[in-house]
Amino acid sequence: MAQDWRFSSDYYDRSRGVLETALSQVAAYQPWQAFDPGPEYPVDMRYAAMPALTKKDIRQHFPQGLLPADRDISHGLANGDIEFVDSSGTLDDKVTNIWHQKWWDASERASWKLNSHASRIASGNHREAILVNPLNVGFISDNLELPMGKRRLSRFLYLNERTDPLSWSPEHMDRIIMELGIFKPAVLEANPSLLAKLCRYATASQKTVFQPGLIVLTYEYPTNFHYRQIHRVFDVPIASSYGTTETGYVFMQCEEGRFHQNSQFCRVDFQPLKSEHGGPLLGRILVTTFDNPWYYVVRFDVGDLVRIDERGGCPCSRDSGLILSAVEGRVANLTLTGTGRLVTLRELDDTLSVLGGIDEYRLYQVATDTYNLHLVSQRPDKDTLTEEASARLKKLYGQEAKVSVIYAASIPPESSGKYQVSKTTFPIEIDRYLAEGHVFEER
């Protein structure tokens, strides 16, 4: 498959440079020297021979072990070149990272080129409103409402200071809508769950909402229900941006709906799953960052599954790097059928998306054959909806599946501030499902 992807000679030069510096000068990677077949081998083969970097590895070597020994972490902190920033994961997988703002900004600017609307609108000086959980980014204030001026930072306006979206009152949402009209952002960046919540309120109360030039969805997986609710209020282009705190901006959705690798700032290694679980087009990705002198991230397991676009070139004409048809959700969102086949969040979401009148949902798989579907719905015919939802899940997971449909007034976010749409109550070890030749074996 790799021969269908186009990479510049500079891409391979950067890949080689990062790997060789990491192996020779960065403490976290020096044990990896034993797996390197040698500089005479193609760089892709050298990367494929390496382990994956995990959050556990980052914790173990943080901070000095993740940058060359000749760089002084204390000097970088004192000069303001870097700072320490926590990722916005759950309590179990949260990790502290070395944050280099100039590098992050450059990575973001490069990603804008992968979407024609962002490329046209985003100047670097444009106004941007951000509607996210402040646990992810922004200003936290749960007990006291912050005035608009206290939530401004340079060209950004943070629309929400509350960490619990269930505490949003009509007055709070009216304020968000009002401030969008005052600020008039060129770009609205949003958690899809929070923007969908605002849109449900705006639709029900018949509010008119300012239309930015572009909506960028980030931080969470946007479900079909999210898109449906957002499109009722906003008639503007929507793009999904994919990245992590550790790796910067990795993929950007173009105007044709496909995801393009930000190959100027990162390398992506794709590891397909076994065919019975969706391979060779479905797999996990390991990301290596380029040109960040303060943080060497090599083959980082970002914890997400993606689907390679089998159609080849994109109508948008961008052809450098991997092209995805979809980001399928996190490994943590995987569930299993009764026969043990992996089900991604995207497959689950597509299965349920035919249902009408759903505000939100969350699926827990509590045993190999038992599934609890939590629904928020205003539909009065709950018995009919229960039958429809159960039938859809049995079609996906198997007719022997035990499905319970549980109605709730709302669904709370995880402790990270993000919404998790599906998960099991038992672990799924993704290495067991990787195609042969892609499972790392200790020597």
pLDDT tens-digit map of 149-205: 999 999 999 999 999 999 999 999 999 999 999 999 999 999 999 999 999 999 999
Q: For residue 298, what are the CA distances in angstroms to 21, 57, 108?
A: 11, 11, 19
Write phi, then psi, for 436 (nearest 5 degrees): -60, 140
- Domain 335-432 in CATH 3.30.300.30: yes
Per-domain residue ranges of the chain: 2-330, 335-432
**Which pTM was predicted?**
0.94
Is 308 within 8 Å of 324 (Cβ atoms)? yes
Q: Name the class of domain 2-330.
A: alpha beta
**186-214 core/surface letters (b: 16 or more CB in 10 A; e: else):** bbbbbbbbbbbbbbbbbeeeeeebbebbb
Sign of CA dihedral 171, 176, 177, 182: positive
Residue 83: other Cβ atoms inside 10 A? 12
Tens-of-pLDDT digits for all 443 residues of the chain? 444 577 888 999 999 999 999 999 999 999 999 999 999 999 999 999 999 999 999 999 999 999 998 999 999 999 999 999 988 655 457 899 999 999 999 999 999 999 999 999 998 889 999 999 999 999 999 999 999 999 999 999 999 999 999 999 999 999 999 999 999 999 999 999 999 999 999 999 999 999 999 999 999 999 999 999 999 999 999 999 999 999 999 999 999 999 999 999 999 999 999 999 999 999 999 999 999 999 999 999 999 999 999 887 899 999 889 999 999 999 999 999 999 999 999 999 999 999 999 999 999 999 999 999 999 999 999 999 999 999 999 999 999 999 999 999 999 998 888 899 999 999 999 999 999 877 666 65
Amino acid identity of residue 117, one-letter, is: H
Domains 2-330 and 335-432 share a fold: no
Average pLDDT, the chain: 94
